[in-house]
Homo-oligomer: A and B are copies of this chain.
Amino acid sequence: MRRRLFVLPLSLALAGVAHADEGMWMPSQLPDIARQLKAAGFKGQARDLAELAKPPMNAVVKVGGASGAFVSKDGLVLTNHHVAFGVIQYNSKPGRDLIQDGYIAADRAGELPANPDYRVLVTTGFDRITDRILAGTAGKQGREYYDAVDVATKAAVAECERDAGYRCSVANMYYGTDFYLVRQLELRDVRLVYAPPNDIGNYGGEVDNFVWPRHAGDFTLLRAYVGKDGKPADYSPDNVPYVPPAHLQVSTRNVKEGDYAMLAGYPGVTFRHRMASEFANQIDWQLPSRVAVFQRMIDVIEGTAAKDEAARVSYANQVRGLKNTLKRAQGELDGLRRSDAVRVRRDDETAMFAWLEKQPDAATTKTDIAAAQTVLDAGVAMRERDQLLGLIQSQTQLLRAALTVQRLARERGKPDAQRESGYQQRDEVLITGQLKQVQRRFAPDVEKALLTELVTQYQALPAAQHVAEFDAVFGTTPAQLKQKLDAMYAGTKLGDEAQRLSAMQADGAALASSSDTMLKAAATLLPAVLRLDEESKASAGELLRLRPAYMRALIAYRHSQGRAVYPDANSTLRVSYGRISAMDPRDGVHYTPLTTVQGIVEKHTGQEPFNAPKPLLDAIAKGDFGSTAEPSLKTQTVDFLTNLDTTGGNSGSPVLDAQGKLIGLNFDSNWEAVSASWMFDPRYKRAIHVDMRYLRWLLAKVYPAPHLLKEMNLPAE
């Protein structure tokens, strides 16, 4: 990606105001924007969409951490191939490669149980409990405020989960302004019904990831089962299909550019209502600095491992992860600069403050906002340190293992319930696994080189950003650093798996008397790590207390303009509406909103990730598309593009037409839209969906499953 420093006035103007199609709305908000929905082409009643217990919302589920929907009265669930990938993998073994071959259960008995931790969650309750959550916060600040919210949250969740078969959580809306208790029926017996071969489900693989035009059939059908009593149950051959309160009907109509579309699902996290200073920090410092330091880390690892084949293999996964983060950060940065996001958000905030001046409660609001800004400023003052110390802990293997061992020993001193999340009894299996993995992911020279890079950057920071314990362990000059690191890695036995596992079992006293240099270094660092963690929670508490003033001002300001405000995404059920949309990614280039099977053939190389299965190529060559062909194109469509507002977590979201019929399955967004987590730019924000007609064609003609078409009330061809 090239950096683009200039943007056109036209693009600025568009980005400057929230677009009609922007928004990840809570279903309960939809009646407020009924007029806009109607104007966009929705033929139903907005108030029907607001009811979680009514169709279509009660057909939308959370599945495998992402989204999905019931598509038959017998609990058939449609989600993405990549969302169900773990289930497919779990059922594959030598001689039965369901990833490569796909899978079609011939009948109910042939449906294969998912991994036991795989879940389908049906949201049944969504109640505002703001007063209850904030009841104990009066007069509190910082860490105390944070804890008061935490205690109330845990109590509400525990009470709600007394009802067996439900999982509950508290969702924080508008950054601490409102809290909702989310109640979800937890279906624990999920089975694999139909998966296309990976070369269809993930056609294009990493190369096509984030790419339009796209040609993947990224879908899989699962089925949720319950006990004979109709209640959630662990897998049992005696279980029966879950009968959902409603399901979506796959459309048999054609779709075309401009058609109304809407989508429901569980978007993960967005930052659109962050303060202008946070936008500036993200775009002017955080992302460029992440790009720079990740590039340095990649260079250091690759440079050090260049002549050491074993080290290259050990670090391949970490390097791949660093490169992905780097690429994404660069994409986000490019997009935010292209949208001139710093200026646009600042101008918007300035206008809000100007409006605020004229409001009666301006003074208190401004005091709170100023206090929030002070907390943010304090974070900015330490951002270089926080970034580097974070990477020192997360990107090392041996040092991280030593820190984990020390912290676990410390947490073990508390009752289990009070142990820090991640260090409780139930986490010890995971920690054991991590400590074992070190062996395959570690080379001392590479880790020393990486630490040399990161700590040298840290040593160059001004004194105010220094932390005594880190200075003690690593020294304050490059020469000291070299000497300390040499000693640290020469005098440790943690490179040996048995030593790590035995250290994990050791108690605090034993660890304290250990002469292992790495364990001693971790012991020195741990108080600093805990102290910084504590400071970060105190800041989080203060922001939880103070941000609502900002959010309330923003919401009121938007209302004064006749506009509603959706909360930033937080993995709760949301609805977005818009239309099937082409895209002009750059001057002279136009993306059509529907792709066809011709593109599969064009991309096919016979090599992964463009190795279309022969039955698919044969069926395309045969050209027998029946009722699933798009008449205007005289061929079979594959995927389509909308301007719906999505983010990570929306994978598997059902895409509905104006009548509420299922026309698509969301599975990705375009590369130009990675910056949409911060800013929705209508020129560039698109979502990518499997066309349900492609699914129907595959089930009818390519990898036939006539019984499933029948179950979904669809024509046989």
Q: Is the CB of B610 within 8 A of A2?
A: yes
A125–B19 alpha-carbon span in the complex (Å): 65
A594–B590 alpha-carbon span in the complex (Å): 12
A606–B4 alpha-carbon span in the complex (Å): 8
A602–B602 alpha-carbon span in the complex (Å): 29
Write out the residue numbers on chain B whose beta carbons fall within 8 Å of the beta carbon of A621: 9
Q: Is the CB of A590 within 8 A of B591?
A: yes
Write out the residue numbers on chain B whose beta carbons fall within 8 Å of the beta carbon of A213: 586-589
- The B-contacting residues of A in range 586-623, CB under 8 angstroms, are 586-592, 594-596, 598-599, 601-606, 610, 617, 621
A601–B605 alpha-carbon span in the complex (Å): 35
Write out the residue numbers on chain B whose beta carbons fall within 8 Å of the beta carbon of A605: 2-5
Write out the residue numbers on chain B whose beta carbons fall within 8 Å of the beta carbon of A7: 601
Q: Is the CB of A598 within 8 A of B2?
A: no
CB distance from A215 to the nearest CB of B (A): 7
Q: Name the residue of chain B whose CB is nearest to the CB of A623.
A: B9
A8 near B: Cβ within 8 Å?
A: yes
Q: How many residues belonging to A are interface residues under a CB distance threshold of 8 Å?
A: 34
Write out the residue numbers on chain B whose beta carbons fall within 8 Å of the beta carbon of A215: 587
A615-636 CB contact bits vs B (8 Å, 1 = yes)?
0010001000000000000000
Q: Name the residue of chain B whose CB is nearest to the CB of A215.
A: B587
Q: Is the CB of A6 within 8 A of B598?
A: no
Write out the residue numbers on chain B whose beta carbons fall within 8 Å of the beta carbon of A587: 213, 215, 595-596, 598-599, 602
CB distance from A570 to the nearest CB of B (A): 33
CB distance from A519 to the nearest CB of B (A): 40
A276–B602 alpha-carbon span in the complex (Å): 25
A179 near B: Cβ within 8 Å?
A: no
A594–B587 alpha-carbon span in the complex (Å): 9
Indicate whether A5 sits within 8 Å of B606 (C-beta atoms), given known contacts A587-B215, A591-B590, A592-B590: yes
A238–B126 alpha-carbon span in the complex (Å): 92
Write out the residue numbers on chain B whose beta carbons fall within 8 Å of the beta carbon of A606: 5
Q: Is the CB of B4 within 8 A of A602?
A: yes
Question: How many subunits of this chain does the assembly comprise?
Answer: 2
A586–B588 alpha-carbon span in the complex (Å): 15
A7–B526 alpha-carbon span in the complex (Å): 62
CB distance from A596 to the nearest CB of B (A): 6
Q: Name the residue of chain B whose CB is nearest to the CB of A593.
A: B588
Q: Name the residue of chain B whose CB is nearest to the CB of A641.
A: B588
Contact partner, A586, options B6, B594, B599, B610, Cβ 8 Å:
B599
Write out the residue numbers on chain B whose beta carbons fall within 8 Å of the beta carbon of A294: none
Q: Is the CB of B592 within 8 A of A591?
A: no
A212 near B: Cβ within 8 Å?
A: yes
Q: Is the CB of B601 within 8 A of A8?
A: yes
Q: Is the CB of A591 within 8 A of B588?
A: yes
Write out the residue numbers on chain B whose beta carbons fall within 8 Å of the beta carbon of A592: 588-590
A589–B10 alpha-carbon span in the complex (Å): 23
A571-593 CB contact bits vs B (8 Å, 1 = yes)?
00000000000000011111110
Write out the residue numbers on chain B whose beta carbons fall within 8 Å of the beta carbon of A588: 212-214, 591-592, 594-596, 599
Write out the residue numbers on chain B whose beta carbons fall within 8 Å of the beta carbon of A601: 6-8
Write out the residue numbers on chain B whose beta carbons fall within 8 Å of the beta carbon of A8: 598, 601-602
Contact partner, A604, options B6, B589, B603, Cβ 8 Å:
B6
A506-546 CB contact bits vs B (8 Å, 1 = yes)?
00000000000000000000000000000000000000000
Q: Name the residue of chain B whose CB is nearest to the CB of A588.
A: B213
CB distance from A686 to the nearest CB of B (A): 12
Write out the residue numbers on chain B whose beta carbons fall within 8 Å of the beta carbon of A603: 2, 4, 586
Write out the residue numbers on chain B whose beta carbons fall within 8 Å of the beta carbon of A598: 8, 10, 587
Q: Is the CB of B604 within 8 A of A5?
A: yes
A601–B2 alpha-carbon span in the complex (Å): 13
Write out the residue numbers on chain B whose beta carbons fall within 8 Å of the beta carbon of A214: 588
A residues contacting B by CB (< 8 A) are 2-10, 212-215, 586-592, 594-596, 598-599, 601-606, 610, 617, 621
Extra contacts besides A5-B606, A587-B595, A588-B599 (6): CB < 8 Å = A2-B603, A3-B605, A5-B605, A586-B599, A586-B603, A590-B591
7 A–B contacts, CB within 8 A, in A order: A5-B606, A8-B598, A213-B589, A214-B588, A586-B599, A589-B590, A589-B591
